[in-house]
């Protein structure tokens, strides 16, 4: 009896290890090529955890989303990319629009990712949430002056608004939602009025806007929540003082809630290893994957029941907009025109 059992064990072992050793020089079944627009140390832990769990090796190319888009276009059918990770549904839309993604629907993904945070045809899946809110100087502005996005156009805020460029994807996506909800004409008037409230020409990223409010250069700024949280939880007390000098408003579009966007993933159109790419996206929806994805970025986990990363527990409860995020891509070129016409460079 002992010999057949041992034999069975050997057969099982060799079945697991496959017929041939993996070839590291080609896009073999054991390697996943990730093109990522993220740049966080915690992503190393994420990849290592996936490698350990699946035995699939992860190779990563990290650069900006526009750069990845150009690279994939140039590589064409020979692209080694299996998967793209990028922030903002508007950025994911650009890959889809360029024909660089494919349907990667899976039962698990469709079950755990709410419909509004994914492409209905499975071309991209949102995995972590970010919200765009107003950071303001509570000594100069009252909460009811900034409880709606449209408040940024109020003449009472003349010379008080700091905000980044209109070509920035976060602003384009917010504008996409405004156009969807209020119409292009109202959105244009809003953009004109916000431009006349600028404290300075658009410059810098979201963190620079928070710093400008704290420095008194302006009293309101539009920023993604995680920039504020990273300043508020910084190891340096000088940095924390910047966040402490500001208050947060979770604005709404009328009664529609606060603008939500996502970091997400899309399987590449010519993925050499589509199965591994889907397995990786599914891994990102597990509690472990969600934790590694959000622990450093301070985004909100998208899958229900996953604990918040440190620092987010201090934010108040707020109502999320229920917008289907494919709208942000569909409205992107209109949003670009609105900013262009308003001189919001
Ligand atoms: Fe960002």
CATH of the domain at 147: 3.40.190.10
Let me know: does 172 contact 94? Beta carbons within 8 Å.
Answer: no
Residue span of the structural domain in which 33 resides: 3-129+261-312
* Whether residue 79 has pLDDT greater than 60: yes
Reading the block at residue 318, the tokens are: 């707020």
Instruction: Report the separation in Å between the CA atom of 74 and the middle of ligand 1, taken as the mean of its atom positions.
Output: 26
92 in the same domain as 16? yes
* Whether residue 258 has pLDDT greater than 90: yes
243 in the same domain as 152? yes
Instruction: Report the separation in Å between the CA atom of 169 and the middle of ligand 1, taken as the mean of its atom positions.
Output: 9
Kind plus residue range of the DSSP H or E element containing 204: none
* Whether residue 24 has pLDDT greater than 80: no
pLDDT value of position 214: 98
Instruction: Report the separation in Å between the CA atom of 289 and the middle of ligand 1, taken as the mean of its atom positions.
Output: 19
Let me know: does 312 contact 296? Beta carbons within 8 Å.
Answer: no
Task: In whole angstroms, give the CA distance from residue 219 to residue 135.
Answer: 8
Computed from CA positions of residues 321, 293, 264, 72, in that sequence, does the dihedral angle turn out positive or negative?
positive
33 in the same domain as 114? yes
pLDDT value of position 19: 37
As for how many domains the chain has, the answer is: 2
299 in the same domain as 205? no
Instruction: Report the separation in Å between the CA atom of 224 and the middle of ligand 1, taken as the mean of its atom positions.
Output: 7
248 in the same domain as 272? no
Residue with tokens 């009328």: 254
232 in the same domain as 162? yes
97 in the same domain as 235? no
Residues contacting 241, CB < 8 A, separation 6+: 214
198 in the same domain as 252? yes
Instruction: Report the separation in Å between the CA atom of 5 and the middle of ligand 1, taken as the mean of its atom positions.
Output: 56
87 in the same domain as 54? yes
200 in the same domain as 326? yes
254 in the same domain as 112? no
Percent of the chain with pLDDT over 90: 91
Distances (CA, A) of 84 to 64, 226, 263, 286: 11, 22, 11, 18
Confidence of residue 260 (pLDDT cuts 50, 70, 90): very high
Neighbours of 77 (CB within 10 A): 6
Kind plus residue range of the DSSP H or E element containing 97: helix 89-97
């Amino acid at each position: 009896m002992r010999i057949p059992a041992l034999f069975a064990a050997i057969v099982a072992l060799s079945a697991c290890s496959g017929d041939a050793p993996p070839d590291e020089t080609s896009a073999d079944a054991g390697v996943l090529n990730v093109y990522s627009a993220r740049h966080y140390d915690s992503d190393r832990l994420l990849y290592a955890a996936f490698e350990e769990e699946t035995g699939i090796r992860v190779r990563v190319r990290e650069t900006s989303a526009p750069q990845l888009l150009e690279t994939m276009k140039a590589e064409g059918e020979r692209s080694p990319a299996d998967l793209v990770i990028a922030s903002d549904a508007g950025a994911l839309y650009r890959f889809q629009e360029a024909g660089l993604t494919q349907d990667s629907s899976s039962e698990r993904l469709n079950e755990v990712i709410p419909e509004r945070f994914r492409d209905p045809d499975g071309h991209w899946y949102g995995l972590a949430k970010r919200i765009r809110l107003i950071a303001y100087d509570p000594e100069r502005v009252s909460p009811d002056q900034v409880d709606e996005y449209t408040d940024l156009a109020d003449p009472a805020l003349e010379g008080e608004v700091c905000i980044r460029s209109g070509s920035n994807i976060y602003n384009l996506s917010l504008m996409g939602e405004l156009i969807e909800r209020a119409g292009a004409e109202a959105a244009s008037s809003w953009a004109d009025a916000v431009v006349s409230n600028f404290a300075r020409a658009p410059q810098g990223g979201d963190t620079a806007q928070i710093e400008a409010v704290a420095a008194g250069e302006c009293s309101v700024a539009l920023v993604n929540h995680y920039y504020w949280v990273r300043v508020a939880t910084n190891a340096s007390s000088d940095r924390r003082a910047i966040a402490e000098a500001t208050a947060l408003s979770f604005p709404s579009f009328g009664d529609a809630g606060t603008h939500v966007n996502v970091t997400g993933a899309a399987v590449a159109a010519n993925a050499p290893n589509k199965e591994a790419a889907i397995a990786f996206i599914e891994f990102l929806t597990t509690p472990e994957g969600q934790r590694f994805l959000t622990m450093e970025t301070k985004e909100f986990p998208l899958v229900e029941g996953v604990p918040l990363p440190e620092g987010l527990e201090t934010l108040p409860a707020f109502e999320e907009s229920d917008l289907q995020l494919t709208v942000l891509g569909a409205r992107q070129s209109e949003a670009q025109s609105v900013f262009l016409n308003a001189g919001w460079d």
